[in-house]
Amino acid sequence: MESFIIQPTEDSPSVNLDTTTNYFVISGASRPENSRTFYTPIINWITSYELVLAKRKQEGNQTPLVFEYKFDYFNSSSAKFILDILLILKKFSENGYPLKVIWKCDERDEDMLDMGKEFSEMAELQIEYIQY
């Protein structure tokens, strides 16, 4: 499966879902005019990536999927899709695929840290927080 990459714009984040390293990153500002149009292809791609994880697990490959969020800002319509992705990742974890979710944010941005914690609670998924 090919990696999924979207270059950032003024209103949408960078997306780098790298299948060679199993390291996925969404970063930047997320305030697209239509969040559904922006995030639906990403969600569909991540959902289909479970087939790759299943094959790797069958082959004994225990390389974890690392998913990193590093937002400067996101609007409320983006938040729904951020949570949707976390719920997919939770399913991956429940299916036995090794997973690590990282939430990076500026150490001065307590609101962004709090949002990561809220997402963790809503998705019932453990998240590692890194402040820089």
The answer to whether the CB of 120 falls within 8 A of the CB of 127 is: yes
Q: Is the pLDDT of residue 42 over 90?
A: yes
What angle is formed at CA 114 by the lines to CA 48 and CA 18, rounded to 5 degrees?
30
Q: How big is the chain, counted in residues?
A: 132
Between CA 64 and CA 90 the distance in angstroms is 13
pLDDT in tens, 44-101: 999 999 999 999 999 999 899 999 999 999 999 999 999 999 999 999 999 999 999 9
pLDDT in tens, 17-38: 999 999 999 999 999 999 999 9
Average pLDDT over residues 106-110: 96
Query: What is the pTM (predicted TM-score) of this model?
Result: 0.96
Q: Which CATH topology does 4-131 take?
A: Transcription Regulator spoIIAA (3.30.750)
Between CA 46 and CA 24 the distance in angstroms is 10
pLDDT class of 11 with cuts at 50, 70, 90 = very high
